[in-house]
Amino acid sequence: MKFILVDSADRENFYPFTLNRSLADCRVGIFTFKERWEQYLKEAAGVLTAPYLQVLYPDQPVLQSNEALFFINITCVPSEDLIAKIKTLKEGEKLMSNTGKWIATHTSERELSKILLASFASIDYPNAQFVRDAIQLLQIHTSFVLRDFEWVKSNRTSAPIDPSNKLINPAEIFVEAGAEILCSNLNATEGPIYIGKEAIIMEGVSIRGPFVLGHKAVVKMNTSIYGTTSIGPFCLVGGEIKNAVMMGYSNKGHEGYLGDSIIGLWCNLGAGTSNSNIKNTAGPIQMWNESKQIWDTIGQKMGMLVGDYSRFAIQSSINTGAYIGVSANIFGNGLLPKNIPNFTWGTLPGYQFEKAIEDIDNWKKLKGMKISDAEKQVLKHLHQLSA
């Protein structure tokens, strides 16, 4: 392992999703950031993140060595040309964008400040593109889906699709082995449709691409989904979904609307839960910026950002431009607050740590998994900060 993906310089821009894990594990499109980089690098990559999160990435003895490694800004969008440029770096050289943003360094240093800021010989790369923050990630979501779909098509062959389905533009529909799709409408006119291994699309579903359904995810009967939407592995979805990302293991299993939103891991939206994505006035939306501790004006359309392990009671009404932290157990009458911090109980602070861990483990057991000691350690850190 000679390539290390670094999120420490920009991870605060991707809250709440990087509060309890690295950006490397955030999934948008078919792949996570780490998986996408590894496809270009053609080998496994390590992760360097905030010290309290590094416990989640323990199997990296290379970080304890004196070997010169390639440290790469994970928010930079990978390309073949960029990888070739990174690999030409000599020890002691770094790659910068023409706007002065750090891209990569080849060094035996291990301190983040020395990797990012030291006076290495610098090479400019004028074509660099970066993902700025979580809101922009939703805005450029389509480009990741299109790129990932082409990568899959070029590396393997689609499984056959049952003739009970109605397909429009079938050349842009890819189905992995073991997926089950019956009596549904799949329209890839406006973008590709990807169905992962062992995923299930039940009868009466209507999907308009671009669309991604991950490994063992399930779309329930009569669901309506339109692009660009990515449903991650082991998710369960129903109702109406538009321009949304569910990163994995989360549920929106019943009627209700989800739009212009990103949902983290292990979340649950109770029956009838809906979010607003535009104000009644069609005016500018303000959204809480957790890293800056301010309200940002972000445009005319925005649903919600929901951190890992957060859950909504049935019939929850979620306000336009809502920011939801990690491990919140949310319930309440009327429109919910626009800023719901980590470990909220109802709409107020007070979700006790032991109870939160017990509840998370209960949800994980429903999908045959359990919470790890490393995850508990990270959540304990966050809970202490919220106290």
Per-residue pLDDT tens over the stretch 77-114? 999 999 999 999 999 999 999 888 999 999 998 888 88
How far is the C-alpha of 5 from the C-alpha of 43, rounded, in Å?
12
Mean pLDDT computed over every residue of the chain: 95
On the CB side of 280, CA atoms within 13 Å amount to 1
SS3 353: helix
How far is the C-alpha of 202 from the C-alpha of 11, rounded, in Å?
37
CA-wise closest residue to 133 among 271, 269, 272, 26: 26
pLDDT digits (tens, 9 = 90+) for 295-336: 999 999 999 999 999 999 999 999 999 999 999 999 999 999
pLDDT at residue 1, as a whole number: 63
pLDDT of 7 > 90? The answer is yes
pLDDT at residue 60, as a whole number: 72
pLDDT of 119 > 90? The answer is no
Query: What number is the average pLDDT over the span 246-265?
Result: 98
pLDDT of 248 > 80? The answer is yes
CATH T-level assignment (fold) for domain 136-386: UDP N-Acetylglucosamine Acyltransferase; domain 1 (2.160.10)
pLDDT at residue 113, as a whole number: 87
pLDDT digits (tens, 9 = 90+) for 362-386: 999 999 999 999 999 999 999 999 8
Confidence band of 125 (pLDDT split at 50, 70, 90): confident
How far is the C-alpha of 66 from the C-alpha of 107, rounded, in Å?
9
Give this prediction's pTM: 0.95
How far is the C-alpha of 70 from the C-alpha of 139, rounded, in Å?
29
Query: What number is the average pLDDT over the span 129-151?
Result: 96
Distance linking the first and last C-alpha atoms of the chain: 39
pLDDT of 6 > 90? The answer is yes
Range from 7-11, 32-36, 305-309 carrying the lowest mean pLDDT = 7-11
What secondary structure does DSSP assign to 54-88, as a single string?
Answer: GGG----GGGGS---EEEEETTBPP-HHHHHHHHT
pLDDT at residue 122, as a whole number: 82
pLDDT at residue 387, as a whole number: 74
Q: Are 303 and 257 in contact (CB under 8 A)?
A: no
Confidence band of 120 (pLDDT split at 50, 70, 90): confident
pLDDT at residue 194, as a whole number: 98
CA-wise closest residue to 19 among 299, 326, 368, 274: 326
How far is the C-alpha of 278 from the C-alpha of 260, rounded, in Å?
9
pLDDT digits (tens, 9 = 90+) for 195-236: 999 999 999 999 999 999 999 999 999 999 998 999 999 999
Question: Alpha carbon of 223 to those of 226, 240, 252, 372: distances in Å?
Answer: 10, 6, 11, 33
